[in-house]
């Protein structure tokens, strides 16, 4: 056994690490298992706290209602649209800018980079952002959701550091010596070599767009353009009763019992796409972040 070769202190250390890791793992996993179990349970079983690990009073009613709800479907499609287009814009902008700033022969690169980093610490507040979006005519359009966060300074720095450190300058000189143009170098050498960092940025921005709530909430007015988190929040809200703000709690109670049975199904519907994407990117994921971190 491999374990034998460790001395007693190490064994103890590993044992404790595993115990703590398993504990953390269970703590993180349990809520998810609960949500999945609850999504297949009846509303009454959930509200009386009978659901622990496995579905109680198995039913598909929650999913039935969720998939028959037209708002959920449009919300889902909108979310896909915002995520795909928003992520595409993020990637193109960030990688291009990151590449330009990674080259040390770009005049003023430092100033530009400073301006980018400046936004990480100081930003306009909600109202000035709203005024900007309104003046651009973006209100209640897809642009309001995908343009304001087109470049995140944090992602930009990851991209830049990656290209600076893991793509040797000599490669550029060699390519130029062979008669390669800047564009061609960027497209056929830098981009293929940047796959790890691209997959990291892809996941970052895709998850960001998929879960994005505040921007869409403020900028979108038409229900046809609502993304899934807005619809989700709407349904979660109707399952809660705050007697102090409601004039007619008895009526709210009726709504709450219905919302109870569908909220968990909806949460599952929201989480699943991200879980599906994750394994495809995961292998690049740790790799990509580490590259930026260790060498940067």
Partner 1 sequence: MKKRQLKKLASIILACTMVVGIAGCGSSPSSSSSPDSDTASSESESAVESNDNAETVAEEESGASRKLTMAIMQSSFVENYDTNYLTRKLEEDMNVDIEFDILPADANDAKTKLSVMANGGGEMPDIIMMALGGSEILQYGQAGVFLDLKDYLNDSSITPNFNAIKEENPEDMEAIIKAITSPDGGIYSLFDWRPEEWNFTPFRCWINKTWLDNLGLEMPTTTDEFAKVMKAFATQDPNGNGVQDEIPLTGSNAIWGGYTPNFLINSFVFYNGGLALSDDEKTVIAPFVSDGWRDALTYMKELCDMGALDPAMFTMDATMCQALLDQDTNVVGCVCAGGWGYWNGGLDSPNFQDFTLLAPLEGPEGLDYALYYNFDPGRIFFITRSCEDPELAMAVGDWFLKRENSISGRYGEEGVDWSMEEADTSTRTALYAAEGYDCNLAILNNVWGSMQNKMWQSVNPEYVNIEYYRGKDSLAVEGDTRDADYRAQGYALYSNHPTLLPALSYTEEENNAISEIQTNIMEYVDGQLAEFVTGNRSLEEWDQYLADIENMGLQTWLETAQTAYDRIK
What is the widest separation between alpha-carbon atoms in the chain? 79
- Nearest-5° Cα angle at 268, 80 to 216: 40
Smallest distance from partner 1 to CB 290, Å: 28
Contact letters for partner 1, residues 263-292 (x by CB under 8 A)? ------------------------------
Q: What angle do CA 161, 167, 169 make, to 5 degrees?
A: 105
CB 139 within 8 A of CB 219: yes
Say if CB 221 and CB 138 are below 8 A apart.
no
Among 113, 146, 206, 270, binds partner 1 (CB under 8 A): 146
| Interatomic CA distance for residues 285 and 135, integer angstroms | 38
Cβ(163)–Cβ(200) under 8 Å? no
Asked if residue 124 binds partner 1 (CB under 8 A), the reply is no
Q: Is 126 in the site for partner 1 (CB under 8 A)?
A: yes
Among 27, 53, 254, 279, binds partner 1 (CB under 8 A): 254
Rule CB under 8 A: is residue 211 a binding residue for partner 1?
no
Q: Which stretch binds partner 1 (CB under 8 A): 4-12, 29-37, 216-224, 282-290?
A: 216-224
- Concatenate the DSSP letters of all residues of 76-130 into one string: HHHHHHHHHHHHHHHHHHHHHHHHHHH-TTSTTHHHHHHHHHHHHH----HHHHH
Print the binding letters for residues 149-178 with partner 1: x by CB under 8 A, - otherwise.
Answer: ------------------------------
User: Does 221 interact with partner 1 (rule: CB under 8 A)?
Assistant: yes
Q: Which residue has the tokens 């993180």?
A: 28
Q: Does 186 bind partner 1 (CB under 8 A)?
A: yes
Residue of 110, 223, 283, 295 that binds partner 1 (CB under 8 A): 223
Closest to partner 1 by CB, 79 vs 291, is 79
- Shortest gap between Cβ of 147 and partner 1 (angstroms)? 8
Contact flag: residue 226 with partner 1 (CB under 8 A): yes
Residue 295 CA, distance from chain mean position: 25
Residues 6+ apart with CB under 8 A from 261: 42, 43, 46, 59, 61, 62, 65
Q: Does 222 bind partner 1 (CB under 8 A)?
A: yes
Q: Is 257 in the site for partner 1 (CB under 8 A)?
A: yes
Least separation in angstroms between CB 125 and partner 1: 10
Q: How far is the CB of 113 from partner 1 (least distance, A)?
A: 16
Torsion angle defined by CA atoms of residues 204, 100, 284 and 214, in that order, rounded to the nearest 10 degrees: 0
Residues 67-96 that bind partner 1 (CB under 8 A): 69-71, 77-78, 81, 84-86, 88-89, 92-93, 96
Cα separation, 128 vs 218, whole angstroms: 13
145: nearest Cα among 203, 220, 76: 220
Closest-CA residue to 204 (of 121, 72, 74, 95)? 95
Q: Which is nearer to partner 1, 218 or 274 (CB)?
A: 218
Binding site for partner 1 (CB under 8 A): 44, 47-50, 65, 69-71, 77-78, 81, 84-86, 88-89, 92-93, 96, 100, 106, 126-127, 130-131, 134, 140-143, 146, 181-183, 186, 217-218, 220-226, 230-231, 233-235, 237-238, 241, 243, 245, 247-251, 253-255, 257-259
């Amino acid at each position: 056994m491999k374990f034998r070769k460790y001395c007693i202190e190490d064994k103890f250390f590993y044992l404790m690490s595993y115990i703590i890791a398993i504990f953390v793992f269970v703590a993180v996993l349990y809520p998810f298992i609960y949500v999945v179990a609850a999504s297949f349970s009846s509303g009454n079983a959930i509200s009386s706290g009978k659901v622990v690990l496995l579905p109680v009073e198995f039913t598909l009613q929650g999913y039935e209602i969720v998939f028959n709800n037209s708002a959920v479907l449009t919300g889902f499609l909108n979310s896909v649209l915002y995520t795909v287009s928003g992520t595409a814009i993020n990637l193109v902008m960030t990688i291009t800018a990151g590449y330009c700033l990674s080259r040390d022969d770009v005049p003023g690169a430092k100033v530009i980079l400073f301006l980018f980093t400046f936004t990480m610490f100081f930003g306009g507040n909600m109202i000035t952002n709203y005024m900007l979006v309104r003046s651009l005519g973006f209100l209640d359009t897809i642009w309001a959701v995908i343009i304001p966060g087109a470049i995140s300074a944090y992602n930009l720095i990851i991209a830049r550091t990656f290209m600076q450190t893991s793509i040797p300058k000599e490669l550029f000189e060699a390519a130029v010596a062979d008669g390669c143009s800047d564009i061609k170098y960027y497209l056929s050498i830098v981009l293929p070599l940047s796959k790890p960092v691209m997959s990291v940025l892809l996941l970052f921005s895709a998850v960001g767009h998929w879960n994005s709530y505040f921007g869409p909430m403020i900028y979108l007015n038409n229900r046809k353009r609502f993304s899934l988190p807005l619809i989700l929040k709407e349904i979660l809200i109707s399952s809660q009763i705050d007697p102090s703000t409601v004039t007619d709690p008895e009526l709210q109670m009726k709504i709450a019992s219905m919302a109870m049975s569908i909220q968990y199904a909806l949460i599952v519907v929201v989480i699943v796409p991200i879980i599906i994407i994750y394994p495809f990117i995961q292998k690049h994921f740790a790799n990509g972040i580490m590259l930026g971190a260790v060498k940067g």
